Structure 1
Amino acid sequence: MSQIDELAERVERLLVRYEELQRTNALLEQQLAGMTAERDSLRSRLSAARARIDALLERLPETISAPDGGQKDAG
C-alpha cells in the first residue's frame, strides 16, 4: 500500500471519528440543557419553599412556653 493510500485511510478514519464525536457532543449538549433546566427548576422550588418556611417562622410567637409553665426541672 502506498503512503498516499495509507494517509487517505487514516484521514477517512479521522473523519469517521470526528463525526462520531460531533454526534456525542450534540447528545451531551442536549443532556446539559435538560439538566440545567432541571437545576433551575429545583432552585426555584427551593427558593419558594424557603420563602414559605420564613413566612411560617414569622407567624410563630417570639417565645414558646413549655407545658410545665416554662420552668426547667432543676434535676
Structure 2
Amino acid sequence: MTTQGFSNYSDIMETDLNVLEAKLTQLIELCQSLRAENLQLRQELAQGRDDTKQLKSQMTEASARLEALIERLPQTVVEGVL
C-alpha cells in the first residue's frame, strides 16, 4: 500500500466516522426527546387517572345524596314521578 492510498483510505474512514457520529448524535437527541415526552405523558396519564378517580367519587357521593333525598320524599310524590 502506498502512502497516497493510505491517505485516501484514512480520509474515507474519517468521513464515514463523521457521518456515523452525526447519526449517533441525532439518535441520542431523539432518545432524550422521547424520554422527556414519555415522562410528560406518564405525568398526564397519572393526573388523568387521579381526575377520573375523583370524578367517580363525586358521582358516587351525588348518587347517594340523591337516593337520600328521594327516600325523604313522600311516597305519593315518588309514585307520581316514577
TM-score (norm 1): 0.75
Of structures 1 and 2, the one with the larger relative CO (CA 8 A, separation 6+) is: 2
Q: By how many angstroms is 1:61 displaced? A: 2.1
The equivalences for 1:1-75 within 5 A come to 2-64=15-77
Same amino acid, percent of matched pairs: 31
| Aligned-partner residue type, residue 8 of structure 1 | E
Q: By how many angstroms is 1:16 displaced? A: 0.6
Output one character per residue of 1:35-74: Cα deviation in whole Å (capped at 9) or x when no partner: 211110111011000011011112222223xxxxxxxxxx
* Runs of 4+ residues over 6 Å off in structure 1: none
- List gaps (5 residues or longer) in structure 2: 1-13, 78-82
Greater fraction of residues in helix: 2
Matched pairs, number: 64
Match of residue 8 from structure 2: none
TM-score (norm 2): 0.69
Larger radius of gyration: 2
Q: By how many angstroms is 1:20 displaced? A: 0.8
- List gaps (5 residues or longer) in structure 1: 65-75
RMSD after superposition: 1.4
